[in-house]
Amino acid sequence: MNVPSIHTQIKTIILDDHSAVSLGLKVTLENSNSFKIKNILTSADGLTEFLKHEPIDLIISDITMPGQNIFDVLRVVKKTYPDMKSMIYTMHEGEGYFRDALSLEVQAYILKEENLNHIPWKIKEAYHGSPYYSEKLRSFLHEYPIVFTEKEHEIIRLLLIGKSNKDISESLNKSKRTIEFHINNIKLKMNVSTISELIIKILKEYYN
């Protein structure tokens, strides 16, 4: 994929299940004359299929939407289209989401509370090589992170939707003992002693 010059419109797709947000972002970006919005999707489910037929330079996505986990989909997209860039535009300011996004080398993580009129130049600057993260998130860059393995991330996601250890072992095709081992490691990292404490702390402090 050829990266557009600074004067070429950036072909963009927006993923957000709130139509007022996505339409507002579309109008604001296109009014800047730097972006051409090729499509708006309400979930990540149709993204990979759309990309097979339409050349795109940039994905701008929310995080919590119906359907597939956006980070899982972006991971696949990154492998298939290594030059395609992605950015997060969301209300979520938790460290967990932020670090998940950074692990995928997103060019920007912008909170929806920011002034919409300032968004186009922030995205454009990030697209052309100057990563942008909302001010509330920048302190996470200087803190020692809690690092979860890919398997631990899978387990956390299943715990958060109410799955039991038995359910998780079946979903991941691992023994119950192996799942318990991973959960104990997660509890140690989060400094809690029970599953209920773990879920509360993750929702309150890490994935909020």
114 and 161 share a domain? no
**Domain range for 201:** 150-206
Identify the CATH number of the domain in which residue 87 sits.
3.40.50.2300
Distance CA 77, CA 74 (A): 5
pLDDT single digits (tens) 126-141: 999 999 999 999 988 8
pLDDT single digits (tens) 139-191: 888 766 777 888 998 899 899 889 999 999 999 999 999 999 999 999 998 88
Instruction: Using the Cα atoms of residue 168, residue 174, residue 176 and residue 181 in order, give the sign of their dihedral.
Output: negative
Work out how many domains the chain is built from and give that number.
2
137 and 50 share a domain? yes
Helix (H) or strand (E) holding 109: strand 108-111
Domain contains 22: yes
